[in-house]
Amino acid sequence: MIMAGETQDSNWPLPKFYFKIDLGSVKDVLFQEVSGLEAEAQPIEYRGVNSPVFSTIKMPGIAKIGNVTMKKGIFKSDNAFWEWYGEIKMNTIARQNVVIKLCDEGGNPTIVWTLANAWPTKISSTDINADAGEVAVETIEFSHEGLTISNQ
């Protein structure tokens, strides 16, 4: 735990609650949660004809990247995501790079994930419940063409 007046060193894991997101030219969009920052290589099983071993070997195949899901509070007259989603027509959509920055206590980026050519593939509005005392939250899911990570 970092106390007042102390600085974080490399011996402690980074906290995950301070992050900023850029959606194309729109900087520092506020989100509550981000999930799905993952990639995997699909294995290919192969056995050579002249292999003396009676089993296959596994080699890395095509990379598979999942969709990234983000949640944020709903604000009055804020329909930007619905408008972006509404642009999907016959394979035409405004693709944007989405940059997710995990920040240190000073607000400086430490780890940056970049989603190349992202576009909204799914958007969900909040559930509505008269008994709940919660904030209205919408969910947006992005498809993208590549995930890169860099350390600042």
C-alpha span between 21 and 24 (Å, rounded):
10
Domains and their CATH numbers in the chain: 19-151 (2.30.110.20)
The H or E element spanning position 69 is: strand 68-73
Read off the pLDDT of residues 41-92 as tens digits, 9 standing for 90 and up: 999 999 888 888 888 999 999 999 999 999 999 989 888 888 888 888 777 8
| Coil, helix or strand at residue 65 | strand
Please tell me the pTM assigned to this model: 0.81
pLDDT at residue 132 is higher than 90? no
β-bridge partners, 98:
23, 115
Tokens of 18: 């301070």
| Coil, helix or strand at residue 6 | coil
Average pLDDT of the chain is: 89
Residue 4 has what pLDDT? 56
